[in-house]
Amino acid sequence: MSEKAYNLFEMAQKQFDHVAGLLELEDGVRQLLRQPLREFQFLVPVRMDDGTVKVFNGFRVQHNDARGPAKGGIRFHPQENIDTVRALAMWMTWKCSVVDIPLGGGKGGVICDPHHLSAREQEQICRGWVRQMAKNVGPFQDVPAPDVMSNGQHMLWMLDEFEVLHGAHAPGFITGKPVGMGGSLGRTEATGYGVVFTLREALKEMGIAPKDTTASVQGFGNVAQYAIRKYGELGGKVICVACWNNHEKKAYSFRKRDGIAVDELVGISDKFGDLDPEKARALGYEVLPGDEWIAQDVDVLIPAALENQVNEKTVGRMSSRVKIVVEGANGPTTPEADAVLKEKGIFLIPDFLANAGGVTCSYFEQVQCNMNFFWEKKEVLERLDFKMTAAFRAVSELARKRKLYMRDAAYVIAIDRVAQAVRSRGWV
């Protein structure tokens, strides 16, 4: 199923409009917050290894910076488009707001596929992106980070180009850098751990011990792997994981009823996290169709891969045993599926709360770079746990108090904070 079949920006605006109604926002604030403050579309010409020149399309969207510099990743994806980037920039605004960090929302991208590019070609794309955006990004304007198919090396190339252009060191310009080059300890684990910190709090409220639960996860990238590890530390058991296989252009679900082993699966994955079905079978895994992860008889579902995965077609396949859906991915649940989850009484931890661990730790990295003083890993993860737990409890308390769906409660808190900021600045 293509994640692009659904217009994500329309979905993000639909979610915003619903909550703007709950908050009774005045018209000027609605107009200002339902679309990006500014956006950039540009071309990045690259001389390829074979001597030809290929031109790549690049994007940067800055949704809102009333509460602080824009913050958000840069995605490398062959099907990237401006509406997806707009939606993700908007969600970043709410994500930073709901965990109460002083940043706004941004997102960027390049239409390309790193699978088919050499390291030198990828470096040229990174440097070209920065050359196009150098006047409109920076530690006090817009702070990028890695996202889909981009990594710490890409961020270093971008940082280097930015510093060359500005003639000064600016490690706080970009986050997700390797440790030792301005990166923060704990950043690798942050998003996946954040997902499980919120799940832990939800189970606590329900009076359920993690050791008495099982889960199924979609995705086997960084977020999924660390979520599975942390969930296992709490005593929970993941019995199924779904993963896209780029070589075969299809997804598979890998099931082991007595619990999957992350390190075992990492051992049979390639550098992009694709799992080998034959090697999985040899290790005793059942290899099922890619969409079977959602139909497993488990207590917890963690969609941690792509957008539009829990939709009106797939939501009906969920087991009646499922009690909690934790959104590790951005925008995995459509409004139509949301309505079904609400009706079934399934406890939802929405994406921009559940996966905010990444941006929270990126904020910690930015703070450490700007101070030129770095924390130990234990301190980073303790601060992360504190921020995620406080944010979850505030949202859950509001949901109970006003009898709101968890996504609506998270939006009410996040949008209200940004609305207050634009009013206080005199923008409206």
Helices (H), 234-356: 262-266, 277-282, 335-344, 351-354
Compute CA 413 distance to the chain's CA centroid, rounded to the nearest angstrom. Answer: 19
Give the strands of the sheet with 104-110, arranged side by side. 38-47, 53-64, 104-110, 70-76, 142-146
Residue 109 CB coordination number (10 Å):
26
| 331 conformational bin, left if phi > 0, alpha if psi -120 to 50, beta if neither | left
Burial of 258 (0-12, 13-18, 19+ CB in 10 A): exposed
Integer Cα distance of 274 and 266 in angstroms: 9
**Which of the following is catalytic: 71, 95, 107, 230?**
107
Residues counted in the chain: 428
- For residues 149 and 76, the answer to whether their CB atoms sit within 8 Å is yes
107 noted as active-site residue:
yes
Look at residues 149, 155, 103 and name the one whose alpha carbon lies nearest to residue 129.
Answer: 155
Each residue of 329-360: b (16+ CB within 10 Å) or e?
bbbbbbeebbebbeeeebbbbbbbbbbbbbbb
Integer Cα distance of 216 and 264 in angstroms: 17
Look up residue 383 and give its two tokens: 């601060």
The DSSP call for residue 173 is: G
Secondary structure (3-state) at 4? coil
Catalytic residues: 107
